[in-house]
Amino acid sequence: MNFVFDVGNVLVDYTPILYLKKLFNDEAIADKLQNVIYKSPEWLIMDEGLLSHEEATEIFISREPELKNEIRTVMQNFDKTFTPLEDVIDLLPEIIAKGHDLYYLSNIHKEIRDILLDKNTFFELFKGGVFSCTINHIKPSPEIYRYFLKKYSLDPAKCIFFDDMKENVSAAEKEGIKGVLFTGVESILELL
């Protein structure tokens, strides 16, 4: 069986609001920055690989010029919003030992992809994967699942996909992949 993992909130913790509150120690600024940056349409366009980090930063600043310095700080340190989920990472060798292959399938933009791959050696355990920015499609669009399956010549019936977002799990299931809504390491243990 092929175990296919989303990255954010499955392999690494991704909670921007906690990072913003810690960084600025001001809940109102943290909420505003989360809306301006992480909940913006541009964040998804970066995930699609169609907008650069620098272009997005300038758009965010043009919307909220009074937060220019804070926006630059966040965009220069955004990688700090990602920390490995150790209980999941510790389970990866066991999954392999039981004869399963590991893959990833994630919405992510180029700068985050590069930092995650550089800083996290656990990606070496994976046979491969697809980041949305590489193919200009994001989950839950069917194209990203089809591309992934075709790239690795995988039978969807032999894939289990773990994602923390219900719509992404449903989209995978429409392509014949077994989808699992990830709620913690127990979600994986149940299938080993």
pLDDT in tens, 90-137: 999 999 999 999 999 999 999 989 999 999 999 999 999 999 999 999
Per the omega criterion (within 30 degrees of 0), is the bond before 65 cis?
Answer: no
The one-letter code for the residue type at 79 is: D
The residue count for the chain: 192
Say yes or no to pLDDT of 159 above 90. Answer: yes
The pLDDT value given to residue 79: 78
User: Mean per-residue pLDDT for 77-98?
Assistant: 92
Taking all residues of the chain, what is their mean pLDDT, rounded to a whole number? 95
pLDDT-derived band at 7 (thresholds 50, 70, 90) equals very high
Say yes or no to pLDDT of 86 above 90. Answer: yes
Question: What domains sit in the chain, N to C, each tagged with a CATH number?
Answer: 2-13+82-189 (3.40.50.1000), 15-81 (no CATH)
| Residues 4/161, Cβ–Cβ less than 8 Å | yes
